[in-house]
Structure 1
Amino acid sequence: MITSWLTFFLPKDEYKRLKIVYFMAEAAVTSMILFGAIAFIELLSIWHFDANILWGLGFCTPLLYIATRYMLSGMEYENVVTARQFQRERKALIYQTFIFVVIFFILYILFMGVSTLKKQLADVIGLLITVGLVAFLSNYISLKRSYKKNKDLLD
């Protein structure tokens, strides 16, 4: 096994670890291309980017790329093969999403305060619904892809 500080963040499964390293490399190349295009646009004075936009792109682009590729790869749920296992995992996802939203709500109250909650209740509810939907859909897509991939491997 290759020793690196990165191995701390990677799974033990060799196949998953290798795929994630590929995703990270792809994200790095994608980021370099994106920043090269931005530098070219800046050089031609077509459009000037705000520093906050560049920081956001530099931080979010690789993370979103890696998360999306991992979600669409179908390697998260390797044990989901039957329809019954799929239904069980789907119920577990609904439960996990509910718990996540409740914890998110509690942490939001702790950090922002009850007075902010009273003033911006609609915003908080919208944020909770959005966060819950994104969390559930990303996990559900991963589950669905894994189930389809595992089912195809058996056939």
Structure 2
Amino acid sequence: MATPNFPEWLTSDFFKSCLESDEENCGGITVTSHSLEPAVAAGNNYGSNMIRANVRYKKHDDSSTEHTISLVIKAPLPDDSFIAEQLKDNLTQLYNNETKYYYEFISETHKLSNHDLVPKHYKSPNPLCVVLEDLKASGFEMVDR
């Protein structure tokens, strides 16, 4: 089995930026560690790179407690992947549409009607990337196709 190749930009600074976009962490955080693994089996990712990240962090206003969160990152495919080469500009538009859906549409509808229709999402410093709450950590499972 091939070793997963994760984007170089998935760093502690990336996760710090994402988590600080949540009002619960607006006082600032320090990421103490993070680990990455594929979120889905090879071949089930279609048009994005699905990555699960387990992040440990401390809040600046309570540095005695370490928090843990599991996130799912929908990252762009590597530029040299077959699908990325075939779809090029269309894939970039798809990524833009999905980030706009979460960061604009869902955020606005949530203000009107406090709903939980989608996983909690975090603002990503990468505009083509969606960062979501990992629902598996809450007991949700994928059903067989």
Normalised TM-score (structure 2): 0.29
Structure with the bigger percentage of strand: 2
User: Whose radius of gyration is greater, 1 or 2?
Assistant: 1
More relative contact order in 1 or in 2 (CA 8 Å, sep 6+)?
A: 1
Structure with the bigger percentage of helix: 1
